[in-house]
Amino acid sequence: MSKFVYSIVTFSIIAYLSILAFMFFFQRTFMYHPSAKNYSPDKITFQYEEVFIPSSDNIVLKSWFSFDLPSKKTILFFHGNAGELDARIYKLNILKDLGLNFLIISYRGYSGNKGKPSEKSFYEDAQSAVKWLENKGINKENIILYGESIGTGVATEIASRDNYAGVILESPFTSLVDMGKKLYPFLPVSILQKDRYENDKKIKLIQYPILIMHGKADTIVPFDMGKKLYDKAQEPKFNFFPEDDNHMMAFNEDMKIALSSFFAYLSKQ
């Protein structure tokens, strides 16, 4: 091997190893985007209270709580990896119109909360929210877990631990390792990935009603991931797979029908 070829090979190896090191240490920077300004222009049409829920590591979670229908179920909403609570106003308006109470939490590192996002810390924050609701007298059998995008990883984890009224997954992925392989096929993602959110391994543990919603035109999380999760889920299971919806699904009349049908089913259980 000539010195020139040897130098090129050596440089390539060093460059690749540098990329691996960079991706390993800074991967959460690419994964979580708490400061993204993806606010909804919709006006709030519901009454709510801003509350601060204590979590682990002396972290408190800025959250919105709307509970004016004591006889109805309560949605515990886990949002996606970008933006703040305001970005979900249009969804919360619909959920409230359908006669549900809700608690939507912002994770540590989001909405001005202290701390740094991670899979482990998200699970801790979610469990703290469940405990907070129980302290309010709202039992698990009256809580519907709702996960959006990366929040589906949170919802699936919490759903697999205990029995709730139901669970809704919006634009879910099979695992973040699968997502990483899709985005970075030139990297050994299975080795590098810290936060894995293995929905495909946990969904079979859910023994109560589940609704999976995924747009077939999703350009971020492939639709086939949502379909695979639906196929693995146990009965009773329901789906809403609109043809034209992208990752951020349209909360239109078709969506309202799918949600209201699921809620009607849960009310009979």
The set of catalytic residues is: 149, 218, 247
Query: What sections of 162-198 are H helices per DSSP?
Result: 176-183, 189-192
Beta strands in the chain (DSSP E): 49-54, 60-66, 74-78, 101-105, 143-148, 166-170, 210-213, 237-240
Residue 165, phi then psi, degrees to nearest 5: -65, -40
Encoded tokens for 94: 């619909």
Residue 3, phi then psi, degrees to nearest 5: -60, -35
Q: CA torsion angle for 181, 87, 119, 193 (degrees, to 10)?
A: 20
- Give the residue among 170, 153, 105, 152 at the shortest CA–CA distance from 131: 105
Task: Tell whether the torsion through CA atoms of 123, 107, 46 and 138 is positive or negative.
Answer: positive
- How remote is the C-alpha of 128 from its chain's centroid? 16
Encoded tokens for 42: 């919709």
